[in-house]
Amino acid sequence: MQRPPVLKLSDDVLWHIFNLNSPEDESFAAIDIQAQELKMEGALVTARRTSQVCSNWRAVILSSSSVWANAFDLWSLDQDGNNWRDEVLTRTKSHPLSIYGNIHEGSVSTDFFFSVVENNWHRLRRVAVLVNGSSTFACDPQWRFMERPTSSMEIFIASFRDCGGNLSSLESRNIFSHIAPRLHTLRWCTQSSSSFGTLRHLEIESCNPSILHLLSGMTALEDVILSSGLDGVLDQDKDGGECLRIWEHLPTVHLPRLKFLEINAKISTLVALICHILPPQDCTLRFGSIFLDYPLSPWHQEKLRHGFTTYYRNFLNQMTFDTLSLDIYIGGQFEVLDVLSNDEETDHRFAFYLADHQSMVPWQTICDIFIQPLSVTDLSTIKTFQLTGLKINNPPNFHFTTLLYSLVSTETLHCDPDVVKWINDFESRNDGCMLFPRLDTLAFSSHIPNIPAIVDFISRRRKAGIPLSFIDFSTCFTWISREDLLLIQSQSDLEVVWSDDMRMVLKEMYDFE
């Protein structure tokens, strides 16, 4: 009887196949701890089951220390007894070690984790753990291993959850005593005084503007994600006086290799970082501020305006964009998104949000800070304009109307129900002066707005000699009356695009083809 082809594979080929089961560096570096909770479990279980297929496979995989060293999964090592944990550790031999999983205060696998770290520090290559426990656990002396120099660590990721807000004992630590020559990825809960010139990926879950001093020495950085906590003198500085005091001591940071920068921080910290980090022109930016619980002072407003003016000029004046998106929710959130013109590019290159749940930032201030820098920027390449959240009672601020008038090349307008009403009202009060003279397509993202308002919009443009060609309802799914259906279908020389689901409903309700 002829042997199956799989049993004819050489030991080298089998070794390569078995190692495909191991998480790659990209998997560690790209882990979304909050959302996925390090769900890379399964590698160790797969390795164990593979070793039980046949004697030849077992011999190969038991001799492959790299398979076991790269599959050191804490989820699969949480048994009551120590036998399996000790066996897996033995099988890793002296190979560089990768550890990942959950750490729960008081669990067996947590004690095992600290033991492995203590006794195998010299060969730890990758560590990615999600820490759950009290603030007491976060201050446990066992975490002092973070202060030990390391010559082997390449990736270190630790995210603390449910540990309370007191992580002060971790802030003062010199991570790896400034010595980690191979470290390229670091995610830690607080900033320290350590700076690593080899870092390419950095995420700090609680920082303040002084981190700029550390970033200035990390010129190899490619991805940076910074967040600030909810406490601190700076973020209680309502008039900008404390900010102004420290401002002159903050360095301007140039990061020439930076490809992605995300800052989610209280407003004063956000202002400081925005105005002092100068990314290259092709960097993707995400800025956001939450928990705004006091009005923006004139100082905050001036600095934000300066920061956004700088970024808009860098991006919109020196790169080609075809899409501008404004999502405006007064009393909730304000967001600006700019997208590159390349049709194959789907990522937003610049984004900002301001979560203002207590309505601390009025409409006029939003326009003065965020819209004014846009309104004086060259937007002649913008072909698609996305505008949502605008309410009929939002007055036509000078900077906002200047922005709208500058979008002369816009061919497609994505909007929500109130935007059409706002534009109709604005154009009526301005002697019929038409916005978006090259507009060809009107698209809606979710709910179909008031059909008579759409028809009014269409009619006004037809009379002005700039008729629409398309109405796009392809992403909408909502009820529509027979009268509205007949009204929109009666528009001559206008193609109406419906979603498949919507077309099916219309067919069942009104025998619509």
Residues in the chain: 513
> What are residue 400's phi and psi, to 5 degrees?
-70, -45
DSSP state of 289: E
Contact at 8 Å (CB) between 321 and 349?
yes
Tokens of 410: 């816009």
DSSP state of 10: -
User: Which residues have a Cβ under 8 Å from the Cβ of 381 and sit 6 or more positions away?
Assistant: 320, 321, 322, 341, 409
Q: How far apart are CA 127 and CA 116, in angstroms?
A: 11
Dihedral angle sign, alpha carbons of residues 335, 187, 311, 245: positive
Q: How far apart are CA 336 and CA 325, in angstroms?
A: 6
Cα-trace Rg, the chain: 29
According to DSSP, the β-strands at 333-340 and 348-355 are antiparallel
Helix, strand or coil, per DSSP, at residue 67: helix
Each residue's pLDDT, cut to its tens digit, for the chain (513 residues) gives 566 777 777 888 888 888 887 777 776 665 544 434 444 557 788 888 888 888 888 888 888 888 888 888 887 887 777 888 888 889 989 999 998 888 877 777 788 888 899 999 999 999 988 887 666 676 777 888 888 999 999 999 887 766 555 555 555 567 888 889 999 999 887 777 778 889 999 998 888 888 898 898 899 999 999 987 644 444 455 555 566 667 678 888 999 999 889 888 877 788 888 888 888 877 888 887 765 666 777 877 888 888 888 777 776 666 667 888 887 765 545 555 544 444 444 455 677 777 665 666 777 777 888 888 888 778 888 888 888 877 777 777 888 889 899 999 999 998 887 888 889 888 888 877 889 999 999 888 766 667 888 888 888 888 888 888 888 887 776 667 777 777 777 777 788 887 777 777 677 766 666
Helix, strand or coil, per DSSP, at residue 15: helix
